[in-house]
Amino acid sequence: MKAGWARWLILLSFVLAALAGGALWWLSRPGSLRLARTAFADLPGWDRAPPAAALASFRRACAVLNRRAADAPMGGAGYGGTAGDWRPVCAGAVHAGDAKVFFTRNFTPYAVRAGHVADGLFTGYYEPEIAASRTRHGAFQTPVYGPPPDLVRADLGLFDEKLAGEHISGRLDGHRLVPYPARAAIDADGISNAPVLMYAKDPFAFFFLQIQGSGRARLDDGSTVRIAYAGENGRPYTAIGRTLLREGALEKGKVSLQSIRAWLAAHPGEAQRVLETNQSYVFFEEKPLGDTGLGSQGTLGVPLTPLGSLAVDRRRNVLGAPYYVAASGPDPVHALLIAEDTGGAIRGPVRGDIFFGFGPEAEQRAGKLAATGQMFVLLPNALAARLGASFEAPP
């Protein structure tokens, strides 16, 4: 799962787009980054939050952090310190027994704010599964493309450090970088030079897998493989929930994965047109299934942990760091999560996308989550001592 020109990972970008003109639009604005030191006792619901998944997730993140040079910056607009600042807590995590004792003894919590605004927006994503076949036959008609050999990915951070983590994709036309055809053209004509990994049985299910960015394919020979994000066509992303709202097909406040799927199933003659209002198109690569209890790799390069991994804005937050989320709503979330993923629609200091894992329950919870809440970052004690009681970075 990767960050891109658009958000491939986020399930409820539909909801975010739907809310963009409503009462919650301000929760996802970038804003200035502010940190204020606090205490674990002041974290809402901390006494009831089970951090065992976060400790396992943090250990996997440390495997990446420990490979970096000691002076390599951790990001987070400057508050993350260097990789060397994290090595002592990573060493302590190896043999830690009680997860809550480990985090409370070794870290200092800071409230994360966007300017003076404490609340942010939290959504969820999951790992979907599609039915597929290696050969095209019967209902298996939708090609799952690997990246074309002439696909070019330009890392914008190499040109301007303010754009670190951003990229654009396309192909060369002489000396120009141009985007690949939009979704409608790919649906109609295919991509002749792109390898076909398999054929999906349900085009709607494949579309939602593209939104998530990675997932699993259950093949008709009985085997299961992972299919992971490998690039995109460079076209703009449009949430189809926003399309359905604009056309009056869905009501504001009732946009979710479930309501969108129900509308598509009830309007088969209109479904493809609606899907193609989203011009973006994702290419995949096949991966071994590996540990079925974990998700595909996130931006940090480790498998995602259900209710232990979080997607954040890497320009404002620290990949590999623990973040505590206290989100309200019908299905409230109070959880310690490790920042291990990113997404183009995840913008701002107090903005997170929670990974729920695989299966019907994960899909159900992720599909309905669009809640306000607070976010806190946990920094190693020695780093916090240098940082002081507060920190502020410009927008």
In terms of domains, do 181 and 235 share one?
yes
In terms of domains, do 259 and 283 share one?
yes
In terms of domains, do 214 and 160 share one?
yes
Q: Which domain holds residue 110?
A: 27-124+306-330+348-385
* Per-residue pLDDT at 168: 87
Residue 5 confidence (pLDDT) above 80: no
* Per-residue pLDDT at 6: 31
In terms of domains, do 61 and 96 share one?
yes
**How many domains does the structure of the chain reveal?**
2
How many whole angstroms separate alpha carbon 339 and alpha carbon 329?
22
* Per-residue pLDDT at 211: 87
In terms of domains, do 283 and 310 share one?
no
Instruction: For residue 370, give the nearest of 216, 241, 266 by alpha carbon.
Output: 241
* Residue that is last in its domain, among 234, 252, 287: 287
* Per-residue pLDDT at 344: 66
In terms of domains, do 146 and 79 share one?
no
Which CATH number covers residue 177? 2.40.240.50
How many whole angstroms separate alpha carbon 57 and alpha carbon 106?
16
Regarding predicted confidence, which is higher, 297 or 380?
Answer: 380
Which CATH number covers residue 113? 2.40.40.10
In terms of domains, do 33 and 115 share one?
yes
Residue 195 confidence (pLDDT) above 70: yes
* Residue that is last in its domain, among 253, 287, 321: 287
* Per-residue pLDDT at 243: 94
How many whole angstroms separate alpha carbon 390 and alpha carbon 78?
13
In terms of domains, do 379 and 272 share one?
no
The answer as to whether 381 is a domain residue is yes
The answer as to whether 176 is a domain residue is yes
SS (H, E, C) the chain: CCCCCCCCCCCCHHHHHHHCCCCCHHHHCCCCEEEEECCHHHCCCHHHCCCHHHHHHHHHHHHHHCCCCCCCECCHHHCCCEHHHHHHHHHHHHCCCCHHHHHHHHEEEEEEEECCECCEEEEEEEECEEEEECCCECCECEEEECCCCCCEEEEHHHCCHHHCCCEEEEEEECCEEECCCCHHHHHHHCCCCCCEEEEECCHHHHHHHHHHCEEEEEECCCCEEEEEEEEECCCCCCCHHHHHHHCCCCCCCCCCHHHHHHHHHHCHHHHHHHHCCCCCCEEEEEECCCCCCCCCECCCCCECCCCCEEECCCCCCCCCCEEEEEECCCCCEEEEEEEEECCCCCCCCCEEEEEEEECHHHHHHHHHCEEEEEEEEEEEHHHHHHHCCEEEECC
* Per-residue pLDDT at 386: 97
Residue 222 confidence (pLDDT) above 90: yes
Q: What are phi and psi of 60, to 5 degrees?
A: -65, -40
The answer as to whether 133 is a domain residue is no
| pTM of the predicted model as reported, rounded to 2 decimal places | 0.84
Regarding predicted confidence, which is higher, 165 or 1?
Answer: 165
Three-point CA angle 392, 333, 327, nearest 5°:
40
The answer as to whether 236 is a domain residue is yes
Q: How confident is the model at residue 284 (pLDDT cuts 50, 70, 90)?
A: very high
Instruction: For residue 344, give the nearest of 33, 127, 187, 125 by alpha carbon.
Output: 125
In terms of domains, do 151 and 96 share one?
no
Sheet architecture: strand order including 167-173: 152-155, 167-173, 176-178
The answer as to whether 342 is a domain residue is no
pLDDT tens digits, 200-219 = 999 999 999 998 888 999 99
Residue 249 confidence (pLDDT) above 80: yes
In terms of domains, do 151 and 264 share one?
yes
In terms of domains, do 117 and 145 share one?
no
Average pLDDT estimate for 321-339: 93
Q: Would you state the structure tokens that stand for residue 300, as one six-digit string?
A: 């940090």
User: Could you tell me which residues are beta bridge partners of residue 142?
Assistant: 200
The answer as to whether 335 is a domain residue is no
The answer as to whether 227 is a domain residue is yes
Average pLDDT estimate for 284-301: 93
Least-confidence region, from 91-100, 164-173, 234-243, 315-324: 164-173
Average pLDDT estimate for 181-191: 95
In terms of domains, do 176 and 271 share one?
yes
pLDDT tens digits, 297-316 = 999 999 999 999 999 998 89
Q: How confident is the model at residue 83 (pLDDT cuts 50, 70, 90)?
A: very high
Residue 98 confidence (pLDDT) above 60: yes
Task: Please name the amino acid found at residue 47.
Answer: D
The answer as to whether 298 is a domain residue is no
